[in-house]
Amino acid sequence: MKPKGKRERLKEFHRNNILEIAKNLFATKGVAQTTMDDIAKEGEYSKSTLYSYFKSKDVIFSYIVYENSLFLKEAIDSARQRDSVKDAFMDICQAHVHFQEKHPLYFESLIGRITEPKDGTEPIYKDIYELNEQINQSVVEFLEDGIKRNEVKPSIDTLQTAFVLWAGICGLIMMAYNKQAYLNCMNVSKEEFLANGFQTYLNSILTSKMVLKEGKP
């Protein structure tokens, strides 16, 4: 691979610097309250310089979402190496939990609206779309592996089920995050609520034999 030239390294430095500044501002002020003027001022960039690197605040936000989602993809791929569907599924769930705990500002973007990119679309939007497709495919392959091992119901539509599970896992985590006071009233911890919810989703895809093996009715 050809080493990067000085100009390219400098450009990469400024892009990364702007992203770090934006992360800090998003965390302290909130995404909606942060403006491009704020980012430029904090980094001591002129607005024209800032816009030469990123066309909008949404583009900056999308780069950060993409960066964090890459780690989620890696965690899901790692979970698929587990010996059982149950262990793999729970690892996938925990990967999402850790993502939400570490990056709550960006977690909701996982289940936000993502449209298929068209010609002229900003490259980062294409990258996010393709990454989401790869994550979906990883979950599909996880289900297909489970079917081959006779642990997952062969009758399920793997593509639709993968989508339902992803939406369900993210929704459950958001519910636990937003309703912690209500869970306390029920004397249920967030961890217990999530564990029960994840087990319910798991049981919905397991064969009857595997459900009984786990001691569930």
pLDDT of residue 69: 87
pLDDT of residue 72: 87
Q: What is the pTM of this model?
A: 0.83
Q: How far apart are CA 178 and CA 194, in angstroms?
A: 13
Contact 205, 153 (CB under 8 A): yes
Based on the fold, state whether residues 129 and 194 are members of the same structural domain. yes
Contact 124, 56 (CB under 8 A): no
Based on the fold, state whether residues 84 and 19 are members of the same structural domain. no
Based on the fold, state whether residues 169 and 69 are members of the same structural domain. yes
Based on the fold, state whether residues 119 and 49 are members of the same structural domain. no
Based on the fold, state whether residues 107 and 200 are members of the same structural domain. yes
pLDDT of residue 9: 87
Based on the fold, state whether residues 42 and 69 are members of the same structural domain. no
Number of structural domains found in the chain: 2
User: Which pair of tokens denotes residue 137?
Assistant: 């495919």
The interaxial angle of helices 57-79 and 36-43, nearest 10 deg, is: 80
Based on the fold, state whether residues 42 and 78 are members of the same structural domain. no
pLDDT of residue 113: 65
Q: How far apart are CA 164 and CA 78, in angstroms?
A: 21
Based on the fold, state whether residues 68 and 42 are members of the same structural domain. no
- Expressed as residue numbers, the domain containing 108 is 56-213
What's the CATH number where 40 sits? Answer: 1.10.10.60
What's the CATH number where 149 sits? Answer: 1.10.357.10
Rg of the chain over Cα atoms, rounded to whole angstroms, equals 21
Q: Classify residue 105 as exposed, middle or buried by CB count within 10 Å of its CB (0-12, 13-18, 19+).
A: middle
pLDDT of residue 105: 84
Q: Averaged in consecutive runs of 10 residues, what is the pLDDT profile of the chain (217 residues)?
A: 75 94 94 95 95 94 91 90 92 93 84 69 89 90 93 95 92 91 91 95 90 58
pLDDT of residue 209: 80
Based on the fold, state whether residues 130 and 196 are members of the same structural domain. yes
pLDDT of residue 217: 45
